[in-house]
Chain A
Amino acid sequence: MLTIAGLIFAIPILIAALICGFLLKKPHAAARLATAGMFSCFLMALALAPQILDLQHKHALPVETSVIWIGLKGLTIEFGILLDGLSYLMLLVVTGIGTLIFLYSMTYMHGDESYSRFFASLSLFAFSMLGIVFSNNLIQTFIFWELVGLSSYLLIGFWYQKPEASLAGKKAFLTTRVGDVGMMFGILLLWGHLAAQNSGTFNFMALKAHPGLTAIPALSMTLIGLGLFMGAVGKSAQVPLHVWLPDAMEGPTPVSALIHAATMVAAGVFLLARIFFLLELSPTTLHIIAWTGTVTSLLAALIAVVQSDIKKILAYSTLSQLGYMVMAIGRGHVEAGMFHLTTHAFFKALLFLGAGSFIHALHTQSIWDMGAYGQKKFLALFKKMPVTSLTFIAGTLALMGIPPTSGFFSKEEILTAAQSGPQLMFICAATVVFLTAFYMGRLSGAIFLPGTIHTLQHEDPHELHEPHEPDWRMLLPLAVLGVLALIGGFLPIRDLLPEAHGHQDGGSFLLILSLSLAGAGFLLGILLFRNHDESRVSTGFMAVPRILLERKFFFDDAYDWLIQNVQERVASFCDLFEKIVVVEIGANGIARLARGAGSTARKLQTGVVQFYALVFTAGLGLLIYLFVSGRLG
């Protein structure tokens, strides 16, 4: 079983290497190879299912294997594969959704001059992500944590000639690295405490059973938890490190679907689930985690309401849903967070791919421009692109948590987790249900229902073309994900996850509350925006908060201010200090000497080589003499 896992792990990186080595000039072969490779990974992962479920029932999981990567005295770092329900679930998500998105990209990216590079980068991403999934220790997780950051950087900046794209890639790398710095502190602090007891380890299973954990002082334990959590804050784009994710939408849409919705951004949630045994040792840490998730889900949902770029709306929606997962884990409901991670991967990948299909057909990302097509006829877009439209609506329903879609089941669990927390947290979570439905209603109203008032913001010759459905390679993933989004709740996902802590059913109260909130939000969204009138609502009841929302709660402005006024000023100070104090004042005497000797040197340079050789020999002789006499003296 572990051999197969190792094979799954190895295939993507081999493919990336093959493409870089041989297939850069053969784009179609590269695309086919990468997609076939991913599909074979998924099939192998599926083939493991009976064994995994069997072992799970016998409580014989996890199984692990490893080699020693660095073995020094007093420090062992392994490189290994750890398989349990958690990593297996994540493995299926990554390879399954990965396969669909690879297939989708074959059409979506068709004709791009760097078609091969795209698939090489995607394969590199798949490898890095599997490294996190399989990891059996903190250092390996950190290594692949950075590598997914790299692949994300490469893919966001895929169209590197676009200044926005390369800026967004850089921003993503740096912002997530701030989180990684925290994660490194967490790892070092944990290591330091355990090494002081002469039993330092990074291995998850060894840590879980480590008797020395309880001896770590409470404050340190909190700091360790918070440090590790910072890694998740960066990757899973939680407040205040969330600012990179919306910008990351500059990347190609399949990338947004795979990396910035379904898998990589969920890695933070996965990490929290993996190290939950460490986090739960400090109630303070859990408390902070839960509130970070709550705040993120609320702020992001609010911002989503005023966006008009379809990918940005979905990006903020992703932030908000990730906040849900983090909140659930902070409340101790790991299984709820992971369950929502899985269903979210289905429906959010679906929504992004659907959005990609619309963008592909209509050549615009603005929901108002998309809706403008519908001016001609009632439900015109729907008729022209039935598969995309239907699956998009399926995804919307799942995101809103309408029964019996997959999102309904996981969202109920999330709300149950929120209900067990402070009242304010539950109110926030419930508000997010309303807001989610509202912005999705607004989105659907804008693109599907006929509008009369809106006029095109920019004329584009493409828009004269009739939109049409893409070919099967884009439609098949939509269809598969559409089915999963609808029935995913009935899959045996929860069998793979740890038992819920004292699971109690939310009962009819939660069901009625969330349904009515979602219904109200959706209807309100549709009714307010079906005529594509941006201005009506904005000048109306949301005039004041609108500034706050459109400036995205001023996070970006605050960071820009910090960079301009703190980072650059401190750097300038160092630069000036170097120029004035270190060089001019500190080395002033030497510099003056240098000017004198420099003019002498100019004369020397006109000489011939033999002269240099003479100087060289003389110098050497002098040196030997000095040394010997120095010894005698």
Chain B
Amino acid sequence: MNMPVRPSDLSEAAPLPIPAAAAIRFENVSKTFAARGKGAAEVRALSGIDLAVPAGSILGVIGRSGAGKSTLIRLVNGLEKPTSGKVVVDGTEVSGLDERGLRDIRRRVGMIFQHFNLLSSRTAFDNVALPLEIAGMPKAEIRRRVEPLLDMVGLADKRHRYPAELSGGQKQRVGIARALATRPKVLLSDEATSALDPETTRSILELLSSINRELGLTILLITHEMSVIRGVAREVAVIDAGRIVEHGEVFDIFTRPKHPTTRSFLGAETGRELPPYLRAHLRPEPVPGAAVALRILFRGPHATDPVISELSRELGLDLNILSGSVDEIAGRPFGTLVVSLPNDPAKLGQALTFLQARDLDTEVIGYVA
């Protein structure tokens, strides 16, 4: 078994070479599905996608179902062809390949699936061996290749079990071993943890992180869960109605989301959502005797400073903490605090200046009586 990996361990891992080129690049890619049947309109799944996945990194694409993320990931190994634009994988333009060329690139790109897609008629060992049989590898070599893979995913003792005898998490481990069998440079993860419970999800994500670090594998994953992105990805792209509406480092997107879709995905994930009791008392306009409710986002170098006590001391303010959470995102501390302070414009101005000087984001969210 692999040791659990924590994001903070990342700094101690051997430094990865600076990615020189993108392992996957989408250049102005659009995909339209032809109308099926009379009267049906054609479906525009993706429009004008520009996205690069740096070699050796993990990029998560998040979107609602129907946003186009499944189509996006299937363009990488040519299961779908773009209507226009280019998809370049590991230096090869996939969008221009014929069937033979596609089969070749597919052996360099592994893929794992939401429902695992293991053959029920094959044992764990034989499932992992399948892509090697397809590639025409001799039996003895297949054996040498498969055993260490089953070891790596922690299933050496289950090698002769059939999928029906394995748990969901174990099935996905077989799926991962199978995807790695041909030693690909790129791994595509299609909602790989969506059918798993939270704990199993965590262990699968840890496995993916360790594979990424140890094998230098580039991972493109799609999901509809922010917690998955947060657990494993370095970069995130938010896709909505076939377009990428926001893209950046996970920490930045989580702490300063700009697009409404991103904000709705984040929801409770970063303490952005107010607790119900607070929401019920919040007024958009000041009422007599009400206090100002101020949201402070702790990010960056001052995230762990004792800002609140300094603020209270230096400005002589009575602060009341209404809600808050402190967390870690992509290995960096991040906190959200909602405080109330007297509705005094001068004091409020001073407080905001004080907080902005420490590079903290602030937002007046309303008034509480």
Whether A and B are associated in the same complex: the answer reads no
Name B's A-contacting residues (CB within 8 A).
none
Name A's B-contacting residues (CB within 8 A).
none
